[in-house]
Amino acid sequence: MTRGKHYLVTEVCRKLSIKPHILRYWEREFDIKPARNSAGRRIYNEAQLERLQLIKHLIRSEKLTVSGARRQLAKMSAHPTASEAPSDDRQTLLWLKKELVSIKGLLESQH
C-alpha cells in the first residue's frame, strides 16, 4: 500500500526484485534508515527507493562488491546534482560536458 510516495518492504522488494533479507542487509551496509508507520512496519520514501535501485544496479549490473558500491556512491555524492547545475545555457552545457567526461572516466576505470 503506497501513501504519499512511501513504500512498504513488500513493495520495495517487488519493485527491485529482491528478497526482504537482501533489503535488510543493504539497509545495514548502506546506512539506510527507513521510517516506521503506525503499525511499526518499515516504510521507505522515494529518495530511499531510488538509492536502493542504484545500489542494486551497482551490485548486480556493474558487479561491484558492497565495499565497491559504497565507494562509488561516495564518489557520486561528491559531484553536484542536476539541481545544482548552473542556470545559464552555456554554463549548463559546460557543466554537462564535465559530468559526462567524469562518468566516462568512472566507467573506463571499472574495465
Q: Any idea what the CATH number is for the domain that residue 31 is in? A: 1.10.1660.10
Closest CA to 35 of 64, 53, 12, 15: 12
Residue 107: give the domain boundaries: 80-111
| 17 pLDDT above the threshold of 50 | yes
* Interval 46-57 mean pLDDT: 93
Q: Are 68 and 86 contained in the same domain? A: no
Task: Kindly give the pairing relationship between strand 42-45 and strand 35-36.
Answer: antiparallel
Q: Are 61 and 15 contained in the same domain? A: yes
Percentage of the chain exceeding pLDDT 90: 57
Distance (Å, whole) CA 52 – CA 27: 9
Q: Are 40 and 94 contained in the same domain? A: no
Q: Are 70 and 102 contained in the same domain? A: no
> Is pTM, for the whole model, over 0.75?
no
- Number of domain units in the chain: 2
Distance (Å, whole) CA 99 – CA 111: 19
Considering only residues 80 and 37, tell me which one the structure prediction assigns the higher pLDDT. 37
Q: Are 46 and 99 contained in the same domain? A: no
